[in-house]
Amino acid sequence: MANREIQCTVNGKKRTFLIDVRSSLSDMLRGNAGLDSIKHGCDVGECGACTVLIDGRPFNSCIYLAIWAEGKTIVTLEGLSDIKGAISDIQQAFIDEGAVQCGICTPGFIMASIPIIESERPSTREEIRRQIAGNLCRCTGYENIVTAIEKTQQRRIAEKQS
Amino acid sequence: MYNFNNLYEAKSVAEAVELKALHPEALILAGGSDILIKIREGKLAGCDLINIYGLDELRGICVEDDGAILIRPLTSFTDVSISSVIKAHIPVLGEAMSQIGGPQVRNIGTIGGNICNGVTSADSATTLKAYDATLEIASAHGTRVLPYTEFNLGPGKVDLREGEILTGIRIAKESYDRTYGFYTKYAMRKAMDIATLGCSVNVRLTQDKRRIERLRIAFGVAAPIPIRALSAEEAAVNQSVDEALLELVAQESIKDVNPRTSWRASKEFRLQLVKELARRSTKAAIERAGGTING
How would you write the pLDDT of chain B (295 residues) with one tens digit per residue? Answer: 999 999 999 999 999 999 999 999 999 999 999 999 999 999 999 999 999 999 999 999 999 999 999 999 999 999 999 999 999 999 999 999 999 999 999 999 999 999 999 999 999 999 999 999 999 999 999 999 999 999 999 999 999 999 999 999 999 999 999 999 999 999 999 899 999 999 999 999 999 999 999 999 999 999 999 999 999 999 999 999 999 999 999 999 999 999 999 999 999 999 999 999 999 999 999 999 999 987 5
Residue B37: which residues within 8 A CB-CB, separation 6 or more? Answer: A44, A45, A63
Cα→Cα distances A130→A62, A123, B155, B219, Å: 21, 10, 30, 25
CATH of the domain at B277: 3.30.390.50
Is B224 in contact with B120 (CB distance < 8 Å)? yes
How many residues comprise chain B?
A: 295
Of A22, A131, A134, the CB nearest to B4: A22
Mean pLDDT, residues A16-23 taken together: 97
Q: Quick check: is B16 in a domain? A: yes
Which of residues B15, B32, B50 is at a domain's end? B50
Q: Where does B142-291 have alpha helices with state H?
A: 173-176, 230-236, 243-256, 267-288
Residue A48: which residues within 8 A CB-CB, separation 6 or more? Answer: A41, A60, A105, A108, A109, A112, A132, A134, A135, A136, B102, B104
Quick check: B107 contacting A, CB < 8 Å?
Answer: yes
Quick check: A142 contacting B, CB < 8 Å?
Answer: no
Name the pairing type of β-strands B152-154 and A57-60. Answer: unpaired
CATH of domain A3-80: 3.10.20.30
| Structural domain harbouring B25 | 1-50
Please provide residue B293's backbone torsions phi and psi, each rounded to the nearest 5 degrees. -70, 125
Rounded-to-integer distance, Cα B256 and Cα B232, Å: 8
Residue A1: the pLDDT is 61
Rounded-to-integer distance, Cα B265 and Cα B88, Å: 35
- Domain A89-161 sits in CATH 1.10.150.120: yes
**Span A76-129, pLDDT tens digits:** 999 999 989 899 999 999 999 999 999 999 999 999 999 999 999 999 999 999
Q: Where does chain B have alpha helices with state H?
A: 13-22, 35-41, 77-82, 84-89, 91-97, 103-108, 111-116, 123-130, 173-176, 230-236, 243-256, 267-288
- CB-based contact B1 A20, cutoff 8 Å: yes
Look up residue B149 and give its amino acid: T
Instruction: Look at chain B and report how many structural domains it folds into.
Output: 2
- CB-based contact B108 A60, cutoff 8 Å: yes
Provide the residue ranges of all domains of chain A, joining segments of one domain with +: 3-80, 89-161
Q: Quick check: is B111 in a domain? A: no
Q: In what order do the strands lie in the sheet with B197-205?
A: B180-186, B197-205, B212-220, B227-228
Distance from CA of B6 to the nearest CA of A (A): 8
Query: Hey, how many other C-beta atoms are within 10 angstroms of the C-beta on B57?
Result: 12
Rounded-to-integer distance, Cα B143 and Cα B159, Å: 14
Dmax over CA atoms of chain A, in Å, equals 56
Of A24, A60, A67, the CB nearest to B104: A60
Q: Quick check: is B127 in a domain? A: no
- State which residue of chain B sits closest to A40, comparing Cα positions: B1
pTM of the model: 0.96
CATH of the domain at B24: 3.30.43
